[in-house]
Chain A
Amino acid sequence: GAVVSQHPSRVICKSGTSVKIECRSLDFQATTMFWYRQFPKQSLMLMATSNEGSKATYEQGVEKDKFLINHASLTLSTLTVTSAHPEDSSFYICSAKGQGSSPLHFGNGTRLTVT
């Protein structure tokens, strides 16, 4: 079946550095991808929606200059956390969807720790 691959699964970085997380659809064309953030014992919160070839739409309260999203192809979206701070430490999950009524598929998430 359809698979969404997210990489890396875990990353530790120092404050002030940038981290890039990749989300790939392996056997379907993902016209839309979604990025979520999940803090411990809390729900998934939608950060942004990205459509291939266009700018991402960010949810209220999410800094677009801090969380850069690029959806340059139908199989790849990237989330770059710029100038990371310890409070950015979280679990980031992407999901991807093809055209029409095709189902939504989730990646396995990336655990980001900023020291």
Chain B
Amino acid sequence: KQEVTQIPAALSVPEGENLVLNCSFTDSAIYNLQWFRQDPGKGLTSLLLIQSSQREQTSGRLNASLDKSSGRSTLYIAASQPGDSATYLCAVSKETSGSRLTFGEGTQLTVNP
């Protein structure tokens, strides 16, 4: 059974700092990995999707890397802003449709002004 772990569970940083969120998964036979953002009491917003054949994806200040063989992914956030405060979830899929997801428990990020 696939298990996804995210470290740290919570993180508080001052505005402007660069930071790294970590995600690990036990079964490396994945089709893709996604990073999501969840604001309190809200649904999920997809941030980055990395196919199993890819090593990284970038969108603006966000960069996600994937090391499939070691079962790890990182989400790098550059020049953090208070608006980045949210819970960040990592999810993997084994299916080619990429839609049946196993989620980690998330990292709750607080960026202080």
Q: Which positions in A face B, CB cutoff 8 Å?
A: 4, 6, 32, 34, 41-46, 49, 91, 93, 95, 97, 101, 103-104, 106-109, 111
Q: How far is the CB of B78 from chain A (nearest CB, A)?
A: 25
Flag if A107 contacts B43 (CB, 8 Å).
yes
Contacting residues, chain B, for A44 (C-beta < 8 A): 44, 89, 91, 101, 103
**Contact of B103 (CB < 8 Å), options: A32, A43, A91:** A43
Contacting residues, chain A, for B44 (C-beta < 8 A): 44, 93, 95, 106
Summarize A's interface: helix, strand, loop or mixed: strand
B55 lies within 8 A of chain A by Cβ: no
Among A43, A46, A95, A107, residue most surrounded by chain B Cβ atoms (within 10 Å): A43
Flag if B103 contacts A109 (CB, 8 Å).
no
Contacting residues, chain B, for A107 (C-beta < 8 A): 43
Contacting residues, chain A, for B4 (C-beta < 8 A): 43
Q: How far is the CB of A32 from chain B (nearest CB, A)?
A: 6
Q: Tell me the complex Cα distance, A109–B89, Å.
A: 15
Q: How many residues of B contact A (CB 8 A)?
A: 21
Flag if B105 contacts A108 (CB, 8 Å).
no
Known contacts A103-B46, A104-B46; A46/B41 CB under 8 A = no
Flag if B41 contacts A109 (CB, 8 Å).
yes
Contacting residues, chain A, for B45 (C-beta < 8 A): 106
Flag if B101 contacts A41 (CB, 8 Å).
no
Q: How far is the CB of A99 from chain B (nearest CB, A)?
A: 10
Flag if A6 contacts B99 (CB, 8 Å).
no
Contacting residues, chain B, for A111 (C-beta < 8 A): 41
6 interchain pairs, CB-CB under 8 A:
A43-B104, A104-B99, A106-B46, A108-B43, A109-B42, A111-B41
Contacting residues, chain B, for A32 (C-beta < 8 A): 97, 99
Q: Tell me the complex Cα distance, A111–B49, Å.
A: 27
Q: How far is the CB of A42 from chain B (nearest CB, A)?
A: 6
